[in-house]
Copies of this chain bind each other. A is one copy, B any other.
């Protein structure tokens, strides 16, 4: 396959778009080039709409407790809490650590979780935390100390059940051991609605081990 980047044939605005978008997740250089030509054909109005959709991402606030990007009304601005963290009906003694907002949203959609979250950011495959992640974990620790008398009742490590996820979970567990009475992970087994016949060996082994 020929790489479409660095081609003299590529018009400059297309090349520039490709360079910028190919660095984003879920788009390779080929897809980015295709997308550029596609958008170019949509015309001035539509191009403005797309650019505005991007610029508006500046309007998001970051929650001071869970660090998720939000635009909850009346709660914008740094240092303010989001609608989840400021909800008095939710338990402060149960926290789920997620890597990213989309994981949080999936959990929230179950309507089965009544604690709060910590969005820690995508974890390195080397099992180390970057400065921003350290800051977020420290914020969790000091919340436990100041507001919960030292220990959170339960921390759920809602990290993907992959090899790297297991590694990250182990590191997190060590890091947070003294700040929680219990540290758990999400259950593993055959996905609901799935078929045993099509489950891979690892999934099936886990399902056997965790039978109930």
Contact = CB atoms under 8 A, between A and B. Distances in A.
Interface of A: 2, 4, 7, 9-14, 16-17, 19-21, 24-27, 30-31, 33-41, 44, 47-60, 69-72, 100-102, 105-106, 108-109
A54 B51 CA distance: 6
Nearest to A101: B37
A105 B106 CA distance: 41
Nearest to A71: B11
Contacts of A44: 58
Closest 5 CB pairs of A and B: A11-B71, A20-B53, A40-B57, A13-B56, A51-B51
B16 A26 contact: no
B60 A13 contact: yes
Contact of A17 (B11, B13, B56): B56
Nearest to A33: B102
Given A34-B102, A47-B57, 11 more contacts: A7-B109, A11-B60, A11-B71, A14-B60, A21-B53, A24-B38, A26-B31, A27-B35, A36-B57, A39-B54, A39-B57
B109 A9 contact: yes
Contacts of A102: 4, 30, 33-34, 37
A17 B105 contact: no
A58 to B, nearest CB: 6
15 contacts: A2-B106, A11-B60, A12-B59, A13-B71, A14-B57, A14-B60, A20-B50, A25-B38, A27-B27, A33-B102, A37-B69, A37-B101, A40-B57, A41-B69, A51-B55
Contacts of A51: 51-52, 54-55
Contacts of A57: 13-14, 17, 36, 39-40, 47
A139 to B, nearest CB: 17
Given A4-B105, A40-B57, A25 B35 contact: yes
